[in-house]
């Protein structure tokens, strides 16, 4: 059974109502349990939990330190291409947007690698738009091979592939793949993704399963905050996480729930998540699932990222560029979105250490060729 089969008959509005019906007693019951179920998670993301945020914060800190220690993993994104055949109405790479397009060649990739290594990184996330004719499996596999001598950890955030293509990526040296559903609301999905490969809801939803089937070490899942009602979105994300952990238990998991940022096209969010609500969500996930890794990117503000270092996050990016070639030759006209926190890796490292945490630049090492 695929994850789609477990949610296809659920009614979005009924799930929303079930979250908002939770009471303070439900929240207190959830906070008193060692093993939580989805009903408990609903309580922790409900409005009824807003009076318990301090308790949730302390629990999140203690659980994270118990499971991960006092360390934060630093990673950096490297955009290889902003070519895209999709028409996602909220994305700066939208095929219809009048922006400059670029796909890095070997020389330009090696330039990026050189600059990123000078920043101290050993953990890189390779990203592309969805345009297989230009930046397809062969191109991405070759990019991994170019990066392999220079990085201990090579991760991907690219278009959804077949199982056999992910197996090729693993063989080339990839150890993690991240793919975000954007929204789990199937009825509304086509509105946001009217054309292109990404318009196939079921194909994208099944991507984490294909990644795990290919033997990739880590799978990252998530949703984009701003499209649909965020509490319901987070419930579906929690269901997705539990499905993956049950059915593909040999794989590690990471989650992220990035909030929408300004980008070419000027799309405005339909639903806003405040910083307080972001905190509630993060802590709810940590209490619900002690083992999951939680990532926080430069989409969020400096103050937010400082605050959450000790409260549940396990990895952050720093010094990021969202344009292909942006480290060696920055060009805002090529960006996917504008970042929020532009501090350098060294500045982030200093901030993290001041809070009593250690910084790691790799949590994976390739001991076999």
Tens-place pLDDT, residues 147-206: 999 999 999 999 999 999 999 999 999 999 999 999 999 999 999 999 988 999 999 999
Dist. CA 2–CA 202, nearest whole Å: 10
Q: Which residue has the tokens 């509630």?
A: 280
Helix, strand or coil, per DSSP, at residue 2: coil
Dist. CA 56–CA 285, nearest whole Å: 10
Contact 308, 267 (CB under 8 A): no
Cα-based torsion angle of the residue sequence 257, 261, 263, 267 in order, rounded to the nearest 10 degrees: 90
Tens-place pLDDT, residues 17-56: 999 999 999 999 999 999 999 999 999 999 999 999 999 9
Contact 57, 283 (CB under 8 A): yes
Tokens of residue 355, six digits: 């809070």
| For residues 260-270, average pLDDT | 72
Q: What is the pTM of this model?
A: 0.94
pLDDT surpasses 90 at 352: yes
Give the residue among 90, 93, 47 at the shortest CA–CA distance from 280.
Answer: 47
Domain locations in the chain as residue ranges: 3-360
pLDDT surpasses 70 at 337: no
Instruction: Report the half-sphere exposure of 295 (CA within 13 A, side-chain side).
Output: 24
- What b/e readout covers 22-51, taking b as 16+ CB neighbours within 10 angstroms? beeebbeebbeeeebeeebbbbbbbebbee
Q: Using the 8-state DSSP alphabet, how is residue 294 labeled? A: E
Tokens of residue 109, six digits: 């990739």
Dist. CA 175–CA 67, nearest whole Å: 21
pLDDT surpasses 50 at 268: yes
Give the residue among 293, 305, 295, 294 at the shortest CA–CA distance from 340.
Answer: 305
Tokens of residue 51, six digits: 């009076």
Which one is the CATH code of 3-360: 2.40.70.10, 3.40.190.170, 3.40.1280.10, 3.20.20.70?
A: 3.20.20.70
CA angle 295, 185, 57 (to 5 degrees): 35
Dist. CA 141–CA 169, nearest whole Å: 6
Q: In sequence order, what are the beta bridge partners of 71?
A: 358
Tokens of residue 12, six digits: 């979005």
Tens-place pLDDT, residues 144-154: 999 999 999 99
């Amino acid at each position: 059974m695929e994850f789609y089969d477990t949610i296809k008959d659920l009614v979005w509005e009924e799930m929303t109502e079930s979250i908002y019906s939770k009471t303070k007693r439900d929240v207190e019951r959830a906070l008193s349990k060692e093993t939580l179920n989805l009903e408990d998670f609903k309580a922790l993301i409900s409005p009824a939990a807003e009076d318990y945020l301090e308790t949730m914060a302390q629990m999140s800190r203690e659980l994270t330190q118990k499971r991960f220690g006092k360390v934060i993993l630093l990673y950096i994104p490297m955009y290889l291409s902003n070519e895209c055949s999709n028409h996602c109405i909220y994305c700066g790479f939208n095929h219809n947007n009048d922006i400059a397009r670029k796909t890095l060649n070997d020389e330009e990739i090696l330039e990026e690698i050189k600059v990123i290594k000078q920043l101290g990184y050993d953990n890189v996330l390779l990203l592309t738009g969805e345009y297989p004719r230009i930046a397809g499996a062969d191109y991405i596999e070759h990019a991994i091979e170019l990066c392999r001598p220079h990085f201990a950890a090579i991760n991907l955030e690219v278009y959804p592939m077949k199982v056999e293509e992910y197996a090729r990526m693993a063989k080339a040296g990839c150890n993690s793949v991240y793919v975000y559903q954007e929204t789990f609301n199937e009825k509304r999905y086509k509105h946001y993704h009217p054309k292109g490969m990404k318009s196939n809801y079921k194909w994208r939803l099944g991507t984490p399963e294909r990644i795990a089937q290919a033997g990739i070490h880590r799978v990252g899942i998530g949703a984009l905050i701003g499209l649909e009602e965020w509490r319901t979105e987070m419930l579906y994300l929690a269901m997705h996480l539990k499905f993956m952990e049950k059915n593909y238990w040999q794989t590690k998991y990471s989650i992220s729930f990035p909030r929408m940022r300004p980008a070419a096209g000027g799309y405005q969010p339909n639903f806003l998540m405040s910083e307080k609500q972001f905190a509630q969500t993060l802590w709810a996930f940590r209490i619900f699932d002690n083992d999951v890794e939680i990532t926080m990117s430069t989409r969020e503000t400096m103050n937010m990222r400082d605050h959450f270092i000790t409260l549940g996050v396990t990895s952050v990016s720093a010094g990021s560029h969202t344009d292909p070639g942006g480290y060696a030759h920055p060009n805002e006209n090529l960006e996917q979105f504008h970042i929020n926190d532009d501090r350098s890796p060294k500045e982030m490292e200093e901030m993290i250490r001041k809070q009593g945490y250690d910084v790691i630049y790799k949590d994976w090492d390739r001991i076999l060729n």
